[in-house]
Amino acid sequence: MNMNKLLPVALALLPLAAAGQTTTNVLTPEKLWQLGRLGEMQVSPDGKTVAYTVTKYNLADNKGNTDIWTVPVAGGTAKRLTDTPGSENTLNWRPDGKLTFISGESGTDQLYVMNADGSGKTKLSDFPDQGLSNLKYAPKANFILYTQDVKSSPSTLDMFPDLPKADAKIIDDLNYRHWNVWDDHLASHVFFQPLNADGKPEGYGKDVMAGEQFDSPLMPDGGSEQLAFSPDGYRIAYTSRKLTGKAEAESTNSDIYLYDIHDQKTVDLSEGLPGYDTEPAFSPDGQHVAWLSMATAGFESDRNGIMVYDFASKKREDITKGSELSAGNVRWSADGKAIYFMAVVAGTEQLFSVPSKGGKIRQLTTGAQNYNAFELVGKDQAVANRTTLSAFADIVRLDLKTGKETPLTTINQQELAGIKMGKVEDRRVTTTDGKQMQVYVIYPPDFDASKKYPTLLYCQGGPQSPITQSQSYRWNFQLMAANGYIVVAPNRRGLPGFGREWNDAISGDWGGQPIKDYLSAIDKISEEPYVDKARRGCVGASYGGYSVYLLAGKHEGRFKTFIAHCGLYDITSWYPSTEEIFFAKHDMAGAPWDANLAKAYTDFNPQQFAKNWDTPLLVIHGGRDFRVPEGQGIEAFGTAQLRGIPSRFLYFPNEGHWILKPQNAILWQRVFFDWLGRTLKPDGTAAK
């Protein structure tokens, strides 16, 4: 099939007329990338000021820049403190009320300090050219810690220095790449360095992990939340998975290590716990340390309990044991009597508290929003990063007794002035096994129930990443609605926030009940008279892309078009080519060479149902996606082409599982909506 006849290359104009949509004051991909993105958030020692970062992107330059802002906790005008060519990050308030940060304005990352009003900016130190990451101050400002890369193994050039232009990798073991990066023969290590009376680093940083070839924080997405100082500054807790090669690829067993600056010894506080242990946090008196702990080996989406270790008794306890909640963002109260945390509940993210010795868990907030991160202020207040499916991230102040919120920032007020958002509806759909499933339905702006609209079934990835009140800059439901589509987004089996049974049910059953849940959702919502059954599409990424490929062979005529981003097409070939084997082993319930093959290979493999494909398909994949290697997309597109199915392959050679470069992201949206516009024609016929 000549794809030039189906999809001309000219993609500059987006088809906003999917449902006769003519409104101009709606969200567009370009507008989406003009928005400021809230990043870090830190409260001053006196509890009066919030420092935070905002990143804005320049499409022409194809990059972003991050600056520091402040706003009073009591409310008032936000103030921009930096405006440099290099981004600022890694905010830390010192005990003296001054703000330190890392800036790349000089070409390399260096440590600066300034007053709370932005005045008196001074460079504190010159760090090596390789820079530093994850810097933190000890509470008494007697030390800093940070992470830097050190040599962990010889490269090909090290082994063959007389062949400097040789371009190859010699690989003898697994875990040679991760998500979107190859092993670079470097390991991220934790360093500490003393500070003088003026707050400047003195001497040289000491490597806490000297001689080791392991990473801290966990690669590639771990950050400063995996590192912590004790209140006196003389102990450092850090997260590391001290395994290499095949053992690392097959295990989630990270631990919390305690390094004592006095005796320079390291102790494993979570020894014997088989799953992920991450994000240590010391109590205010330094007598305890809490962290997030998963109980099941090899299960990356297990419940995060809150483990508390008592230094006096040397005992540890999961103080949330028995709870269905999976915790995150652990914070101690000022008196050490309570621990605050976040958890997903029924498609939202809320704040909770629990006595630090264990006891009844209290839900502190309710409502249709996400509190994505928070910091405590005094005894009964917090500031939080808040989003909804109709509102981008801003900072709010929360009364922890009443749950009342007060807005503190309006980061995108100017950019979003006059922009209409679609209505978001929270519905319940009965599944094939009689359960009640939450489904978000997002309607186009100016929705008219007397008209018929094309409708998209959105398939979530993960496979255990919840659909909540968060905002995506790619899979943005409001952007889809702005283009004239009703969006159906089910919290199908496997998505957190509905109890452990619901969460864990997907493991080993990828193509079973979760796929039935998707069909239950689209079938039920399609009973509405405003859903045009002749113009329904199915879209998704990762496990959502797998779902698209599987449904393409089993949808029984429901859909007129499919879009799969970084989807798994052939489970058999994917298993040995992905990087974190523990994920594949757990969720597939075994390997493809096991004597008793799991259903993942016999009943749930999309490749086996490709013989039934008969519907236009857009395949999107990144060349640096090592979780779902590019071969999966190439195989799916090749299958569609060889079977004469209208199809297109959007390939990003230098992107990974996500599309991160601004112009690539705009291109992604243009191709996405062009495909929908051409394959879901207003007359109900798909393009051929």
Which residues have a catalytic role annotated? Answer: 542, 625, 657
Omega prior to 220 cis, within 30 of 0 = yes
- Two structure tokens written together for 190: 């934790």
CB neighbourhood size of 175 (10 A): 19
For 346, the 3-state DSSP assignment is coil
Strand partners, 399: 381
Q: In whole angstroms, what is the distance from residue 67 CA to residue 375 CA?
A: 20
Look at residue 249 and give its three-state secondary structure.
Answer: helix
Residue where the block lists tokens 């493809």: 592
Contact by Cβ (8 Å): 350, 432? no
Which bin fits 657, alpha (ψ -120 to 50), beta or left (φ > 0)?
A: alpha
Longest dimension (CA), the chain: 76
Q: What does the DSSP 8-state code read for residue 287?
A: S
* Beta pairing, strands 561-565 & 617-622: parallel
- Token pair listed for 24: 């101009």
Provide the token pair at 349: 């993210």
Beta strand residue intervals within 255-313, DSSP E: 255-260, 265-268, 277-282, 288-293, 305-310
Distance of CA 473 to the CA centre of its chain: 12
3-class secondary structure, 354: strand
Contact yes or no for 97/116 (Cβ under 8 A) = yes
- Among 430, 504, 494, 492, residue whose Cα is nearest residue 458: 492
Tokens encoding 663: 């112009």
